[in-house]
Copies of this chain bind each other. A is one copy, B any other.
Amino acid sequence: MKPHPARPGDIVQAIDTPALVLDLDAMQRNIERMAAFAARHRVRLRPHAKTHKCAAVAMRQVAAGAVGVCVQKVGEAQALAEAGVNDVYISNEVVDTEKLARVARLAGEVRLAIAVDSALGVERLAHAVRAAGTTLDVFVEIDVGHGRCGVEPSTAGALARQIVAHGLPFAGLQAYHGRAQHLRSASERSQAIAHAAACVRGAEASITRSGLACPLVTGAGTGSFLYEATSGVWGELQAGSYVFMDRDYSDNEPTPGAPVFEQALFVKSQVISRGAAHAVVDAGLKAHAIDSGLPTVWQRALDFSNGGDEHGILRPQTMGPQEPLPELAETVWLVPGHCDPTVNLHDHLVAVRGGLGDGRVEAVWSVDARGRTD
């Protein structure tokens, strides 16, 4: 069993490296800002827990007003339910019969919902739920421009009818535009969500024509949620990354009028080798995900380059201010390129109160759903 990287009460300097470290004060402010935003716009907030996979974080989001959390996988739902989260929405498709049997059993333990985008999916889900004697809310996912999962909006009504025909509760529309989140300019994101809203209206018309009502439209992410919230179309926001933030989101042009979130998630690393013109830290591809680009060095004028599985290479910045390289054994804080898959690499989140400099470890949380791709 992997040892804990720190103990409550430890000074920050004592945290073993590489470790995933959370600035608790910054995270709490992020949670409160998003909750206040949702309340002000009279939309529900159901943060995506694929970001943190951690019941301790989910509980704090719920305590601040969230109605529950989203997840992407059955295994995530099971892990968070076991850890005490009692309202979970699997905002994704499941068609495997064994997995659906797990979904149906879990629906007997917590309030559960799921998305569908195929007749086969509805049929298999209904069969599993009948066999287990449980029920759960079912959302129809529509493709609002992402080009991934989801039916064509004009066919949403037909699928909703099938849900109802199988005796399942039709709960509304899953309408998430993933690619819109990382469009760099606010106007591009605004246009993408305007297109998504038109798709949702088309789907709602299809549902109405099929003789049903659409109880809720759920979706949105950290890059676009202001546009969904002010569209008059979405009733629930699913943003996830706002709780931690990452390098990639900091590259977005801010959305005018949206709350600003702080960087709360860091990888603590240590210099293990020093050359004349570079330093090597003990955090590489197995400590942070680089699908959205390399990490940056927190508050230091240093460039990070990929050093492979277990190393990162630091050099003086090629542009901008210069500062000396860190010394051997020195601590270096990294800001991951993409928070969600970075968290998934770690077993523990070290929660620090009082800042990265002089703070102390308040808690070491388990990343409950780490590795739960099942």
Contact = CB atoms under 8 A, between A and B. Distances in A.
A33 interface: no
A189 interface: no
A148 B72 contact: no
Contact of A372 (B2, B120, B143): B2
Contacts of A75: 2-3
Nearest to A143: B275
A188 interface: no
B286 A344 contact: yes
Contacts of A150: 273
A373 B5 CA distance: 11
Contact of A178 (B96, B149, B308, B371): B308
Q: So how many copies of this chain end up in the complex?
A: 2
Contacts of A308: 148, 178
A360 B262 CA distance: 50
B345 A118 contact: no
Interface in A333-369: 338, 340-341, 344-347
Contacts of A371: 2, 286, 345-347, 370
Interface residues of A, number: 65
A328 interface: yes
Contacts of A120: 328-329
Contacts of A5: 374
A222 interface: no
Interface string A75-117: 1000100000000000011111011000000000000000001
A253 interface: no
Interface stretch (A58-66, A195-203, A226-234, A309-317): A309-317
Interface in A33-74: 50, 72-73
Contacts of A271: 95
Contacts of A341: 285-286, 309
Given A309-B340, A340-B309, A374-B2, A95 B149 contact: no
Interface string A291-310: 10000000000000011111
A2 B372 CA distance: 7
B95 A310 contact: no
21 contacts: A2-B79, A3-B75, A5-B374, A17-B96, A17-B374, A50-B309, A92-B310, A93-B272, A93-B273, A93-B280, A95-B272, A118-B273, A118-B274, A148-B280, A149-B311, A282-B373, A283-B373, A286-B341, A309-B340, A309-B341, A310-B373
Q: Nearest 6 pairs between A and B by C-beta?
A: A149-B273, A72-B310, A93-B272, A285-B341, A95-B329, A286-B344
